[in-house]
Amino acid sequence: MVKRLYVKRIGIKIMRRQERIDRVDLMRTFIRIVEAGSLSAAARQLETTQATVSRRLQSLETLLGVKLLLRTTHAMKLTDDGERCYQHAKRVADAWVALEDDLSQSDDEPVGMLRVRAPHAFGQQQLLVPLTQFLERHPQLTVEWMLNDKTVDFLSANIDCAIRVGAEVDPATVSVLLAEVPRSLVASPALLERFPAIETPQQLSNLPWVALSTFYQHQITLYAQDDEQAVQVAISPRLFTDSLYAARNTALAGLGVTLISSWAVEEDIRSGRLVTLLPQWQAAPLPVHLVYPWARYYPARLRKFLQLMREVMPGLSGMRQPEMRA
């Protein structure tokens, strides 16, 4: 009799403890484990400990009565039940976010954290003013503004959207074309004094170069403005860099010619610190996209940010509306 009472009390305690578990948080943790690729990576992204993440995974497995992950020292794999759970959990998490948004803010006011990645120079110089104004208009919103030029991996990086300049469109994501970035072919007057006058694209091969390695390395393509004739020019860079600031500053120092976003050198050209070469020949502009993963529901913070980018991007200094192409 005493033993039965003891077992009953233990069972009641377990049930009460499980009732206190936030099942949505357990599913969100499981989603993060799967998308981050490991418990330790998920813990870093969730800003908690690996032990906490492990306990949440065990709690979810206990609640569902199935094994969700197979783990070894060096690998992690979803079970068949884990794959089904992941797909269902994504739908439930999306629906829960939609419910929170709908009930907490009837006027569609964005709340919470929006994680955005943008190219370093572009995000720092072109977008900080509209971003600041955006945050002032929406006091319940917080933005994590990550500036780097790495390839976007939404699953492992735990970001909501990214601004990409000149990158190929990934068909697995939603890509919204916002604007185009015209480019300028520039060099310092001191550099040009050391060489014969440049009158044709082919003569550019005789000059030293600073290459923006993200977009070009050993050759560039230029188009004649009158008939859109294209010519490819081989170049020999003295410096390869993925930094727009480094390309601009070394061009100013006379290291080499560079083909660079026009907005970054507008003032240098006006002041005469840099000279535009062959203005009748132009490189293709770089497209600017806002990219985010496909989902059944997008929270107000992402929708509002997309609306902001659509409005302000074409009007930024050195930018233009994208041209329609066949």
Q: In the predicted model, is pLDDT for residue 31 greater than 90? A: no
- When pLDDT is averaged across residues 130-153 and rounded to a whole number, the result is 88
Q: Check if CATH label 3.40.190.290 holds for domain 181-285.
A: yes
Task: Report the CATH fold assignment for 112-180+287-315.
Answer: D-Maltodextrin-Binding Protein; domain 2 (3.40.190)
Statement: residue 157 has pLDDT above 90:
no
| Same topology between domain 112-180+287-315 and domain 181-285 | yes
The answer, yes or no, to whether residue 17 has pLDDT greater than 70, is no
Q: What is the mean pLDDT of the chain?
A: 84
Q: Residue 1 — pLDDT band, cuts 50, 70, 90?
A: very low
Taking only the tens place, the pLDDT of each residue in 197-225 is 999 999 999 999 999 998 999 999 999 98
Domain ranges of the chain: 15-103, 112-180+287-315, 181-285
Query: DSSP for 207-245?
Result: SEEEEETTT-SSEEEEEETTT--EEEEE-EEEEEES-HH
Average of per-residue pLDDT across 218-241: 91
Residue 103's pLDDT is 59
Can you list the alpha helix ranges (DSSP code H) found in the chain?
2-20, 23-36, 39-46, 50-64, 80-104, 120-125, 128-137, 154-157, 189-192, 244-252, 262-271, 300-312
Q: Is the pLDDT of residue 47 over 70?
A: yes
Q: Count of residues for the chain?
A: 326
> Residue 170: which pLDDT band, with cuts at 50, 70 and 90?
confident
Whether 146 and 152 have beta carbons less than 8 Å apart is answered as no
> Residue 18 contacts by C-beta under 8 Å, 6 or more apart in sequence?
59, 62, 63
Segment (H or E) for 114: strand 112-118
Q: Give the pLDDT of residue 63.
A: 87
Dihedral over Cα of 83, 88, 89, 93: its sign: positive
State the average pLDDT over residues 99-113: 68
CA distances (Å), origin 70, targets 53, 126, 221: 15, 46, 50
The average pLDDT across 188-205 equals 95
pLDDT at res. 14: 42
pLDDT in tens, 268-295: 999 999 999 999 999 999 999 999 887 7
Is residue 123's pLDDT more than 70? yes
Query: Contact at 8 Å (CB) between 262 and 182?
Result: yes
What's the pLDDT at 11? 42
Q: Which range scores top for mean pLDDT: 105-114, 261-270, 284-293?
A: 261-270
The answer on pLDDT for 10 being more than 50 is no
297-317 per-position pLDDT tens digit: 788 899 999 999 999 998 888
Band (pLDDT 50/70/90 cuts) for residue 227 is: confident
- Of residues 26 and 36, the one with the higher pLDDT is 26
CATH 2.120.10.30 fits 15-103, yes or no: no
Average pLDDT over every residue of 163-169: 82
pLDDT given at position 252: 97
